[in-house]
Amino acid sequence: MTNAELAILSLVAEKPRHGYEIESVIEERGMREWTEIGFSSIYYLLKKLEDEGLLEGDLEAAERGPARKVYHITRAGRDVLHAGVLESLSIPQHCYSPLQLGLANMPGIGQEEALLSLRKYHQALHERSMHIRERRDSQRPLPYFVEAVFEHSLTMIEAERQWIEKFTRQVETERDDQD
Protein backbone atom coordinates (compact mmCIF):
# COMPACT_ATOMS: atom_id res chain seq x y z
CA MET A 1 0.00 0.00 0.00
CA THR A 2 1.37 3.40 -0.95
CA ASN A 3 1.64 6.29 1.51
CA ALA A 4 -1.07 8.12 -0.44
CA GLU A 5 -3.44 5.14 -0.23
CA LEU A 6 -2.76 4.75 3.48
CA ALA A 7 -3.38 8.46 4.04
CA ILE A 8 -6.71 8.38 2.18
CA LEU A 9 -7.76 5.23 4.02
CA SER A 10 -6.90 6.82 7.37
CA LEU A 11 -8.95 9.94 6.67
CA VAL A 12 -11.99 7.86 5.76
CA ALA A 13 -11.43 5.73 8.87
CA GLU A 14 -11.68 8.87 11.03
CA LYS A 15 -15.18 9.44 9.65
CA PRO A 16 -17.03 8.90 6.37
CA ARG A 17 -15.96 11.53 3.85
CA HIS A 18 -16.49 12.58 0.25
CA GLY A 19 -13.62 13.46 -2.07
CA TYR A 20 -13.75 17.22 -1.67
CA GLU A 21 -13.80 16.91 2.13
CA ILE A 22 -10.74 14.67 1.94
CA GLU A 23 -8.99 17.34 -0.13
CA SER A 24 -9.89 19.98 2.47
CA VAL A 25 -8.48 17.90 5.34
CA ILE A 26 -5.29 17.16 3.36
CA GLU A 27 -4.84 20.88 2.79
CA GLU A 28 -5.69 21.88 6.38
CA ARG A 29 -3.28 19.38 7.90
CA GLY A 30 -0.48 20.09 5.44
CA MET A 31 -0.35 16.44 4.46
CA ARG A 32 1.30 17.23 1.13
CA GLU A 33 4.43 18.03 3.14
CA TRP A 34 4.88 14.34 3.94
CA THR A 35 2.89 12.33 1.42
CA GLU A 36 2.38 12.54 -2.30
CA ILE A 37 -1.33 13.12 -2.81
CA GLY A 38 -2.27 15.31 -5.71
CA PHE A 39 -5.76 16.80 -5.86
CA SER A 40 -6.47 14.93 -9.07
CA SER A 41 -5.36 11.60 -7.58
CA ILE A 42 -7.81 11.64 -4.65
CA TYR A 43 -10.75 10.37 -6.70
CA TYR A 44 -8.55 7.83 -8.47
CA LEU A 45 -7.35 6.50 -5.10
CA LEU A 46 -10.88 6.42 -3.68
CA LYS A 47 -12.05 4.36 -6.66
CA LYS A 48 -9.03 2.04 -6.38
CA LEU A 49 -9.59 1.48 -2.66
CA GLU A 50 -13.27 0.87 -3.31
CA ASP A 51 -12.45 -1.65 -6.07
CA GLU A 52 -10.15 -3.45 -3.62
CA GLY A 53 -12.98 -3.70 -1.08
CA LEU A 54 -11.29 -1.41 1.43
CA LEU A 55 -13.86 1.37 1.08
CA GLU A 56 -17.54 1.49 0.19
CA GLY A 57 -19.07 4.52 -1.47
CA ASP A 58 -22.71 5.56 -1.14
CA LEU A 59 -24.44 8.48 -2.83
CA GLU A 60 -25.79 10.85 -0.23
CA ALA A 61 -27.90 13.93 -0.80
CA ALA A 62 -26.07 17.19 -0.22
CA GLU A 63 -27.62 20.24 1.46
CA ARG A 64 -26.92 22.15 -1.73
CA GLY A 65 -26.00 20.86 -5.13
CA PRO A 66 -25.91 17.31 -6.45
CA ALA A 67 -25.56 14.17 -4.36
CA ARG A 68 -22.04 13.24 -3.33
CA LYS A 69 -20.40 9.89 -3.02
CA VAL A 70 -19.44 9.45 0.63
CA TYR A 71 -16.92 6.75 1.42
CA HIS A 72 -16.96 4.46 4.46
CA ILE A 73 -14.15 2.14 5.50
CA THR A 74 -14.86 -1.59 5.39
CA ARG A 75 -13.68 -4.25 7.85
CA ALA A 76 -11.02 -5.26 5.32
CA GLY A 77 -10.02 -1.59 5.04
CA ARG A 78 -9.62 -1.33 8.82
CA ASP A 79 -7.42 -4.45 8.80
CA VAL A 80 -5.21 -3.05 6.03
CA LEU A 81 -5.04 0.33 7.74
CA HIS A 82 -4.12 -1.31 11.04
CA ALA A 83 -1.30 -3.29 9.42
CA GLY A 84 -0.09 -0.22 7.51
CA VAL A 85 0.00 1.96 10.62
CA LEU A 86 1.92 -0.68 12.56
CA GLU A 87 4.43 -0.97 9.73
CA SER A 88 4.78 2.81 9.43
CA LEU A 89 5.43 3.17 13.15
CA SER A 90 7.89 0.29 13.41
CA ILE A 91 9.96 0.11 10.21
CA PRO A 92 12.09 3.06 9.06
CA GLN A 93 11.67 3.67 5.35
CA HIS A 94 14.32 4.77 2.89
CA CYS A 95 13.68 8.32 1.88
CA TYR A 96 15.47 9.40 -1.25
CA SER A 97 15.97 13.08 -1.70
CA PRO A 98 16.94 15.18 -4.69
CA LEU A 99 19.35 16.87 -2.27
CA GLN A 100 21.32 13.64 -2.05
CA LEU A 101 21.55 13.50 -5.84
CA GLY A 102 22.80 17.08 -5.88
CA LEU A 103 25.38 16.35 -3.18
CA ALA A 104 26.66 13.32 -5.07
CA ASN A 105 27.17 15.47 -8.15
CA MET A 106 28.64 18.61 -6.57
CA PRO A 107 32.05 18.07 -8.21
CA GLY A 108 30.38 18.89 -11.52
CA ILE A 109 29.56 22.46 -10.49
CA GLY A 110 31.63 25.24 -9.03
CA GLN A 111 31.85 25.80 -5.30
CA GLU A 112 30.35 29.29 -5.59
CA GLU A 113 27.28 27.88 -7.37
CA ALA A 114 27.08 25.09 -4.81
CA LEU A 115 27.21 27.57 -1.94
CA LEU A 116 24.56 29.78 -3.53
CA SER A 117 22.31 26.76 -4.04
CA LEU A 118 22.85 25.50 -0.48
CA ARG A 119 21.93 28.94 0.88
CA LYS A 120 18.76 28.95 -1.23
CA TYR A 121 17.92 25.48 0.09
CA HIS A 122 18.45 26.71 3.66
CA GLN A 123 16.15 29.68 3.05
CA ALA A 124 13.50 27.42 1.49
CA LEU A 125 13.62 25.21 4.59
CA HIS A 126 13.08 28.26 6.78
CA GLU A 127 10.10 29.34 4.68
CA ARG A 128 8.61 25.83 4.76
CA SER A 129 9.01 25.75 8.54
CA MET A 130 7.22 29.08 8.91
CA HIS A 131 4.41 27.88 6.63
CA ILE A 132 3.93 24.69 8.65
CA ARG A 133 3.94 26.63 11.94
CA GLU A 134 1.30 29.04 10.62
CA ARG A 135 -0.87 26.19 9.36
CA ARG A 136 -0.56 24.32 12.68
CA ASP A 137 -1.20 27.40 14.81
CA SER A 138 -4.26 28.44 12.79
CA GLN A 139 -5.95 25.12 13.54
CA ARG A 140 -5.18 24.66 17.21
CA PRO A 141 -6.33 22.92 19.28
CA LEU A 142 -5.50 19.79 17.31
CA PRO A 143 -5.83 16.12 18.19
CA TYR A 144 -2.55 14.85 19.64
CA PHE A 145 -1.79 12.69 16.60
CA VAL A 146 -2.27 15.61 14.18
CA GLU A 147 -0.10 17.80 16.42
CA ALA A 148 2.53 15.03 16.27
CA VAL A 149 2.53 15.13 12.46
CA PHE A 150 3.21 18.87 12.49
CA GLU A 151 5.87 18.55 15.20
CA HIS A 152 7.65 15.72 13.39
CA SER A 153 7.75 17.77 10.18
CA LEU A 154 9.13 20.78 12.01
CA THR A 155 11.74 18.69 13.82
CA MET A 156 12.92 17.09 10.58
CA ILE A 157 13.13 20.47 8.84
CA GLU A 158 15.13 21.92 11.72
CA ALA A 159 17.54 18.96 11.68
CA GLU A 160 18.03 19.36 7.93
CA ARG A 161 18.48 23.12 8.32
CA GLN A 162 21.21 22.56 10.91
CA TRP A 163 22.90 19.99 8.69
CA ILE A 164 22.83 22.41 5.71
CA GLU A 165 24.40 25.14 7.88
CA LYS A 166 27.19 22.78 8.96
CA PHE A 167 27.81 21.49 5.43
CA THR A 168 27.80 25.01 4.00
CA ARG A 169 30.54 25.97 6.46
CA GLN A 170 32.48 22.88 5.37
CA VAL A 171 32.19 23.85 1.70
CA GLU A 172 33.30 27.40 2.55
CA THR A 173 36.33 26.00 4.41
CA GLU A 174 37.18 23.77 1.42
CA ARG A 175 36.97 26.81 -0.85
CA ASP A 176 39.19 28.87 1.45
CA ASP A 177 41.76 26.04 1.63
CA GLN A 178 41.92 25.87 -2.18
CA ASP A 179 42.51 29.61 -2.58
Contact between 81 and 10 (Cβ < 8 Å):
yes
Domain ranges, ordered by start, for the chain: 3-90, 98-178
**Interior CA angle at 159 toward 153 and 164, to 5°?**
125
Sequential DSSP letters for 108-136: GS-HHHHHHHHHHHHHHHHHHHHHHHHHH
Supply the pLDDT for residue 178.
72
Assigned fold of 3-90? Arc Repressor Mutant, subunit A (1.10.10)
Query: For residue range 63-103, what is the model confidence (pLDDT) as tens digits?
Result: 888 889 999 999 999 999 999 999 999 988 877 788 998 99
What integer pLDDT is reported at residue 95 of this predicted model? 75
pLDDT digits (tens, 9 = 90+) for 146-159: 999 999 999 999 99
State the DSSP code for 54: S
